Structure 1
Amino acid sequence: MNAHTNQPISEQFRLAAKDWVEKDSAANLLEETKSAVLSQMMTRLGDVPVSHAERSVKSSEEWLDFVKKMVRAREAANLAKVRCEYIRMKFQEWSSYNATKRAEMRL
């Protein structure tokens, strides 16, 4: 068990992994819908050439906000993944420490 919590390491990992999956899914959704969102925003401008509509949308605050949201979502997912890896590393350290202690006791 981790010194910072009463939860077993397996439960800490389960919760961290669940958080990672949820955040990764949210980031993927934003990334996968980027083109659709761009098209919707361009369509709202009406009957204008595509190049003008794209330039207008991509220079808008609304588009900038969407891109920032997408990047923050990926950042949150990456941080959640790092938390999972940290728990895995702590478990491996704990396991190695215990194996060393058992080996020392046999000497």
Structure 2
Amino acid sequence: MTAPASNLPWSEQYRIVAKDYVALKSAADMLEETKSAVLAKRMAALGDMPVSRAEMAVKGSDEWSDYIKTMVDAREQAELKRVHLEYIRMKFMEWQSANATQRAEMRLTS
């Protein structure tokens, strides 16, 4: 079996993708963790209004929809990067297994 297609060792490919994954996951986590604070700030900005009405106004706004979409998109990007990491891990295992099989076959034929 051949080496990695990118000419970088599997470990380096993994490191690069893992670094990207951590950054994407961090961004997605930040959006999710600050969701309540963002909601509270937007509700407070509406002034003296019952909490239930302020919450309904904020959650019904295009701004809030955009925030939620951004949060979901960030999570999707992080998950895609996590899957890419898993793909690299699986490709390395396939490569390692094929090399082991090739070595074993060479021992049998020599």
User: TM-score normalised to the size of structure 2?
Assistant: 0.94
Amino acid at match of 1:100: T
Structure 1 stretches of at least 4 aligned residues deviating more than 2 Å after TM superposition: none
Structure-2 separation of matches of 1:17 and 1:104 = 34
Q: 1:97 Cα deviation (Å)?
A: 0.3
Q: Deviations over 1:13-71 (max 9, x none)?
A: 00000000000000000000000000000000000000000000000000000000000
| Count of residues paired in the alignment | 106
**Aligned positions of 1:53-68 closer than 5 A:** 53-68=54-69
Amino acid at match of 2:4: N
Q: Percent identity?
A: 62
Amino acid at match of 2:66: D
Q: Deviations over 1:66-96 (max 9, x none)?
A: 0000000000000000111101000000000
Structure-1 separation of matches of 2:85 and 2:30 = 21
User: TM-score normalised to the size of structure 1?
Assistant: 0.97
Structure 2 alignment gaps of length 5 or more: none
RMSD: 0.6
Structure 1 alignment gaps of length 5 or more: none
Which residue does 2:84 correspond to in 1? 83
Which residue does 1:69 correspond to in 2? 70
